[in-house]
Amino acid sequence: MFGGIRHRPRDCGEDGIGPQDGGGIDEYLKAAAYIGMNLSDFWELTPYEFSIVMDGYTERIKAEQEERIALSYATALWTAQWFSKRRPPKLNEIIKKETKKMTDDQMLNAVKALNIALNGEVT
């Protein structure tokens, strides 16, 4: 409810209950509530926009998990250095994250894009 008027997604059927294809909207609402999205904001998104929000949320959760693993790894490494002669496996082996190699041109373009996005100045 927003101002006493219930908004519905742009692609909902005329009854406002679910998408035009007949699927239920309840699962989408639960997902929006789960990620902490304001439900009035949810009604302003198209399904495509909502999928982008959910993809971003998923990526953030993955990054947080990797950060926790790295912190746990650092703690284990320090503990092993103090109390054991055996070293734990390398962090990259635990996370199994693929690193992407960038060419010089790709790296320059990424820096330029960040500079533009952050309103940077070239000096």
- Whether 12 contacts 25, CB under 8 Å: yes
- Is 6 a residue whose pLDDT tops 70? no
pLDDT digits (tens, 9 = 90+) for 12-55: 545 444 444 444 678 888 888 889 998 889 999 988 999 999 99
pLDDT digits (tens, 9 = 90+) for 52-94: 999 999 999 999 999 999 999 888 887 877 677 777 777 777 7
88/66 Cα distance (integer angstroms): 17
- Whether 50 contacts 34, CB under 8 Å: no
Every domain of the chain and the residues it spans: 26-117
Nearest to 92 by CA among 66, 56, 118: 66
For position 18, what pLDDT does the model report? 45
